[in-house]
Structure 1
């Protein structure tokens, strides 16, 4: 099947697009960039109450593209006293569906960004030095835009699908996942898809020169668990220091946790990932990946993998302190000190066992530990042959025929865990790519390369045509 690199869309869809780049890109690319710019500009972080604003914008664009009220469902949810929303969009099968539906995932919310700490204002899409800068450019408004723009493109060309395609956009993936849980349950009860495809995971791994090394398919993910660790003391006047200072005791606990190394672990999926990825990764890191895949007890390989942020999460459970609060007055001894510790738990270990380890490692009988997240452990997914074939077709159309396609376990948590836990194979097959030094999601100066943005726009278009019977 031959695909055009970017199908033209009608003049009606061009009306809302800035003219500055009107002659530089195809109509579809321009529309996608316009959607991207508007999406990044909406500060959809917890506490801002902006998710409904983004939903309203996306719904208006979808309706302008020909989707009706019957194709769009907006649902309200409350997350810790704040209104958020979920958005689901149907691309209906033409006539009687020949295949079970496919559900497509992305999330509209972002981790908040403090403008005074960024080099550029985080809620403006800024194109500079070959990158798009802004909060959510990578995580996960590119996923949102890719799916929505693809649906609009298919609608514009009159594509006749042989199965229902359903986008499920969640509104609080980065926090309570209330909308995610509800959408997953709705999916199981009312849609029952063949499988679920996630735009918030997977994608190209690039070398430092921007050359594609491999394409990763997320087939499993670690369990996300957040704990509060608290030490309480009687306190007192700061002029009369005590030996049992809550801040010092908590600091001692955190240093012990920092020094602790959780057991090295592996699964068939992670070993396959290291074997394939190592063959494409130059230097000592690639050699370590291959050595670990051959012998997971290789101490030198383990040391190299655990020293690199890009691979440490695939070798076992990790726990790291992310927030602190303590004391109540500058001239009083602290009565309480609390740290937030976020853990990414290797499949099969369990949340209870991880909490027990933190308690033992902390070594303080006064330490209280409280689980403050409410997430689930999920199994590994199978890799359906038709999905893998569609991914390879999309890569070939992008000039990447023969690129290694590598299943992997994600160290981060996504909406996909809830769908896996309900029995649906869920694969992360995002369209973008990144160099090792481009991973700024959740951090300062988040960015996505301009080449990755435009290079991935055909990705879902091709995959959905392959899976839904388009000619």
Structure 2
């Protein structure tokens, strides 16, 4: 068994489920395991907690260039129901050429690649090209407040000198026919989780309703859910579509995107979710007895907006809600974007060195990561977790899905790509 597969398996055996309730069982164990792997090869780990058990690890590896690169990832995972899985989600079982378990893709596989590379680089006594800060963080699967948020607020000095970062959700193989596409994330939609409230007059359910907040909220939620958000072709998405056209050898008509999505469905999955802003109602809460009209009703909405689209998004939400429904943010994060040049070119070069026939393209993520926290302190982020995948393995389907798994060969590919990117003298491991 290669070291990267062994590390991945061990990490997956540690249940770091984050259900959003403020607890992080297993994060401390995972952090201690990571710290031990680093310390064993002479890399000094800095271990800290934001709350009991909410543990993170940060380590610095001096390089030839003091302009630092942050390589970060999260230790926590979303819940998994063992009854739905073929193998136990916290078994870390290696079978059929894959490491199985919750977090294999999101994102303990990536952490394993980082650790395997760092350990080998330390053993050969090599310095990386740039100062590296390796961060293994708690709580990304909730708000990130106990992990990256705490880190930048209380331990900002650990990231001194870092101008750029790489993390999850990019650099993986995406097959469109015979073409191997490698999406590299250069941006993320902003996040606006909102609580909606309608207030009215409480009373008996048998009487004519004068001002029923349940009905008012229901109408507002329906307007929001039924709204057809217009296409907003941001510069980042326009370049993605252009690069996909080149990779596929066939133009994608930006004036007929709905038809184009049906023509190239797999490639379109990379941009379908970032053509528009969105606001999806996800929770409703109203009333306490069938014959009582309550004085208020609440709903929660998951809102996402493209880079540069915050104001238009919020104005549209307010118009759809109307004057009788108020909103407040449960969580709000600005959209982020980074230039598709400079470090982006280095990332694509590292990929092409291992797969000369691949086609790296920039893309924007529909969701969000800890990159938004680090953007607050001026660190530009890229989604780059290099992973070679066979045609039949659905990368996006693995995220938070049943039977999550990652190919061992894919992990080994990722370690080699990281070596190309990070080492001053790549050994191609």
Q: Is TM more than 0.5 here?
A: yes
Cα 1:195–1:303 shift into 2, 3 Å: same
Q: CA deviation at 1:223?
A: 1.0
* Alignment partners' CA distance in 2, 1:243 and 1:121: 54
| 1:32 is aligned to 2:2 | no
| Deviation for aligned residue 1:345 | 0.8
Task: Give the equivalent residue in structure 1 for 2:108.
Answer: 141
Measured on the aligned residues, the alpha-carbon RMSD in Å equals 3.5
Q: 1:447 aligns with which of 387, 395, 404?
A: 404
CA distance in 2, matches of 1:30, 1:265: 42
In the TM superposition, 1:220-235 aligns within 5 A as 220-235=187-202
Query: Is 2:187–2:338's contact at 8 Å kept on the other side of the alignment?
Result: yes
CA distance in structure 2 between the partners assigned to 1:88 and 1:176 by the alignment: 19
Note if contact 2:137-2:148 (Cα within 8 Å) is conserved in structure 1.
Answer: yes
Residue 73 of structure 2 corresponds to residue 92 of structure 1:
no
In 2, the alpha carbon distance for the partners of 1:361 and 1:463 equals 47
How far has the Cα of 1:362 moved from its partner?
2.9
In the alignment, structure 1 residue 324 sits paired with structure 2 residue 284: yes
The Cα offsets for residues 131-184 of structure 1, whole Å up to 9 and x where unpaired, read as 544322222222222212221222223323354221122212222322313434
Q: 1:268 to 1:38 in 2, by over 3 A?
A: same
Distance 2:295 2:264 in 1: 36
Summarize deviations over 1:255-282 as a string: whole Å, max 9, x none: 2212212232123321111122244459
1:409 aligned residue: 364
Conservation of the 8 A alpha-carbon contact between 2:140 and 2:148 = yes
* Structure 1 position 64 matched with structure 2 position 64: no
Structure 2 stretches lacking a partner, 5+ long? none
SS of the residue corresponding to residue 60 of structure 2 reads strand
Instruction: Report deviation, 1:55.
Output: 0.9
Aligned to 1:73: 46
Question: What is the deviation of 1:356?
Answer: 3.0
**Corresponding pairs, count:** 419
- Paired with 1:185 and 1:278, the residues of 2 have a C-alpha distance of 42
Pick closer, same or farther for the CA change 1:449–1:470 going to 2, 3 Å: closer
TM-score by length of 2: 0.83
1:67-466 paired onto structure 2 within 5 Å = 67=43, 71-78=44-51, 84-93=54-63, 97-115=64-82, 121-126=88-93, 132-161=99-128, 163-178=130-145, 179-184=147-152, 189=157, 191-193=159-161, 195-207=163-175, 213-236=180-203, 242=209, 246-280=213-247, 290-292=252-254, 297-298=255-256, 300-301=258-259, 310-329=270-289, 332-350=292-310, 353-363=312-322, 365-384=323-342, 388-389=345-346, 391-397=348-354, 400-432=355-387, 437-440=394-397, 443-445=400-402, 447-450=404-407, 451-465=409-423
- Structure 2: how far apart are the matches of 1:336 and 1:116? 39
Report the equivalent of 1:43: 17
TM-score, normalised with respect to structure 1:
0.76
In structure 2, the residue corresponding to 1:313 is in which secondary structure?
helix
Assess, with a 3 A threshold, how the Cα gap between structure 1 residues 265 and 202 changes in structure 2: closer, same or farther.
same
Q: CA deviation at 1:227?
A: 0.7
Give CA deviations for 1:48-97 in whole Å, capped at 9, x if unaligned. Answer: 43222211221123223333xxx21122214xxx752321012234xxx4
What are structure 1's unaligned runs of at least 5 residues? 1-24
C-alpha contact (below 8 Å) 1:103/1:193 kept by paired residues: no
d(CA) in 2 for partners of 1:187, 1:196 = 17
Q: How many Å separate the matches in 2 of 1:162 and 1:278? A: 34
Q: 2:129 and 2:422 mapped to 1: Cα distance?
A: 11
Q: Is the contact between residue 324 and residue 339 of structure 1 (CA under 8 Å) also seen in structure 2?
A: yes
Asked if the contact 2:77/2:102 (under 8 Å) is kept, the reply is: yes
1:33 deviates by: 3.5
Q: 1:271 to 1:252 in 2, by over 3 A?
A: same
Correspondence for 1:18 = none
For residues 342 and 360 of structure 2, the distance between their equivalents in structure 1, rounded to whole angstroms, comes to: 13
Alpha-carbon distance change, 114 to 321 in structure 1, aligned in 2, over 3 angstroms: farther
